Amino acid sequence: MNPIPGYKTTTRTITPGDASQEVKKGQTVTVHATGIVQNTGKQFWSTKDAGQSPFTYQAGVGKVITGWDQGCLGMKLGEVRQLIIPADEGYGANGFPAWGIPPGGILDFTIEVLKIH
């Protein structure tokens, strides 16, 4: 796992992407994402599940949890990356009970960049 300077979130490239297109701060990005609570091993969300669709957000500007926001910067088009996000860069001490994320939950996301707008 590779640390992100200044953050506790770590990343690992599973599948490299197209080096000519990279996620930069302020860009709109569409991804497939699957999130697992590392503490329990339970999946809490996946855009690949029936009835779900890819997720689109603005990168690097605080629209998503910190670990995701920083962990996806620099991803290449088509890249698949694992993010391990500690609670303080995820949903914090309160967790997100509606999604089954316990207080202090550590998140394990697999992200695939589908489109960089």
In angstroms, rounded to a whole number, what is the distance separating the alpha carbons of residues 98 and 117? Answer: 31
Nearest to 109 by CA among 64, 71, 78, 63: 71
Alpha-carbon torsion, ordered 69, 75, 78, 82, to 10 deg: -70
Q: 3-class DSSP state for residue 43? A: strand
Q: Per-residue pLDDT tens for 103-113?
A: 999 999 999 99
Establish how many alpha carbons lie within 13 A of residue 14's alpha carbon, considering only the half-sphere containing its beta carbon.
10
Q: 3-class DSSP state for residue 54? A: coil
Average pLDDT, 10 consecutive residues per value, the chain (117 residues): 96 97 98 97 97 97 97 98 98 96 97 97
Amino acid identity, position 82: Q
What pLDDT is attached to residue 72? 97
What pLDDT is attached to residue 52? 96
Distance of CA 78 to the CA centre of its chain: 14
